[in-house]
Amino acid sequence: MQAEVIGVHHLKIWVSDLARSRSWYERVLGLEHHISFEDDDGVVRGMSFTVPGAGFQIALRENPDLAKALSGADPFAMEVTLEGLGDWVAHLDDLGIPHGPIIKASSGHAMGFADPDGVQIRLYAPEEEVRAAQVGSEGVYRPGPDPYLRENRT
């Protein structure tokens, strides 16, 4: 038997205010509440949500200190289609959520926005042709410059 990973179960995001973040994530990403977690003191400080159509969950965990420490971080990217990026721009605009432009990334297109605690959420639309061109003969992926670094933006 070979040890292998077969997918993503959940992403955990540390938040400063669980109720505020729950409302935001349900409204913006369409998350559906799955289960709540009580701490030893009986207070709910964690919740898990399904991400419709994505096959993984997002968990929110209230911890103001960790949320503050992660402000500005971009710990994950969610995959969308290239056409879907335009739909996301319209959706975020309708909700009044500030976001970056759609940019050409190393192997596709991307855009980002921040949650209430400043965690950067990236939406990424990969392009097979670009990805294939950046894999050398030895099968090693060689991405271009990081599109999220300020000095690489056009």
pTM of the model as a whole: 0.79
Q: Which residues contact 34 (CB under 8 A, 6 or more apart)?
A: 47, 48, 49, 50, 57
Is the pLDDT score of 141 beyond 60? no
Domains of the chain: 1-70 (3.10.180.10), 71-154 (3.10.180.10)
Q: Which residues of 43-71 are buried (b: 16+ CB within 10 A; e: fewer)?
A: eeebbbbbbeeeeebbbbbbeeeebeebe
Sign of the torsion angle spanned by Cα atoms 56, 111, 148, 28 = negative
pLDDT tens, position by position, 11-20: 999 999 999 9
